[in-house]
Amino acid sequence: MSEQQRRDLDEMLRHAPLDVGGDVAEARVVFHEMMTSVPLPPDVTAVPGQLGGVPVVTVDTPGSDPSRVLLYFHGGAYAIGSAADATSLAADVSRRSGARAVCVDYRLAPEHPFPAAVDDAVAAYGALLDQGVPGARIALVGESAGGGLAVATLVAVRDSGMSQPSSAAVFSPWADLTVSGASATSKAAVDPALTPRALRTRARDYLGATPGAEPLASPVFADLTGLPPLLVQVGSHEILLDDAVRLASRAAAADVHVQLQVWPQVPHVFQAFAVMLDEADEALQSAAAFTRAHWAAAESASYASLPS
């Protein structure tokens, strides 16, 4: 773990051209250019398609088990980003987990406010079940807004009575659209990527007339009872630190198997920078190990419940 690596990443992000809270159309273009500036490795395939009527991009890496699926939700504050923009990080998770990743291109605000993203996420998950992929072989993964969406999807799936996935791993989740965590202020000076102003702007776009504390928009306010195992990773140099800590606390209070990993002096969704940051590689390895362990546990439980 190199202090110089962390400094270099911080400097790069502070000089990035993206304004998350700026004009939506411009932010989408800049974000796409940033996220796709480095080509995918030649051994990675990314194939567009549909799942439950929702556009998706399926990402495969060598040796991935086609019977296991990472249902992946991209970041972008619910207003920017796309499945295609997420393929690089999804491929990193796929490679380490040994499973294909299906990136969900959920509808974006302000054109499609809440609950459009949740509806699309649940539709995609339900379509996997309908295709015969058991919940025990599906894991949810999400970054930033996609992390909050992953947890909201868990809640919606539980409430619907559908078979639940084996686990979820969320990176720097935006889980409180009221932006009321103390770290929104206390970590503002050290966060090189996000500002409270930007998040509040995008929250208004996504929420429309919906209150910010709506549980399926801000899962820190949801009843998390009965959810599958949850891994929450966050950097200490980000304003969403308290979102992650409170989400993990709420899950623990609801008797959910939860792991919270706070990585010191790294920024928002640091996992995306594994090529230049040792902590990112280590975090991704940890997330993959968590996911594989809970696939194995869920599959064993499913086999044990079969009639003899």
Q: Return the structure tokens found at 274.
A: 């594994």
Catalytic-residue membership of 257 = no
Catalytic site residue 144? yes
Query: DSSP strand E in the chain: where?
Result: 45-51, 54-60, 65-73, 99-104, 138-143, 167-171, 230-235, 258-263
**Burial (0-12, 13-18, 19+ Cβ within 10 Å), 127:** middle
Chain centre distance of CA 15? 24
CA geometry: angle at 267 spanning 240 and 279, to 5°?
Answer: 125
Active-site annotation holder among 74, 237, 268, 294: 268
What count of Cα atoms within 13 Å lies in the side-chain half-sphere of residue 8?
10
256: alpha, beta or left? (left if phi > 0; alpha if psi -120 to 50): beta
Q: Which residues contact 12 (CB under 8 A, 6 or more apart)?
A: none
Query: Which residue in the list 144, 166, 183, 286 is annotated as catalytic?
Result: 144
Q: What is the number of helices (H) and of strands (E) in the chain?
A: 9, 8
CA–CA distances in Å: residue 193 to residues 28, 231, 266: 15, 23, 11
Catalytic residue at 302?
no
Q: How far is residue 219 from each of residues 3, 31, 180, 268, 306, measured CA to CA in Å?
A: 34, 25, 13, 19, 33
d(CA 226, CA 223): 9
Q: How far apart are alpha carbons 301 and 94 in whole angstroms?
A: 24
Catalytic residue among 94, 97, 172, 238: 238
Looking at the annotation, which residues are catalytic?
A: 144, 238, 268
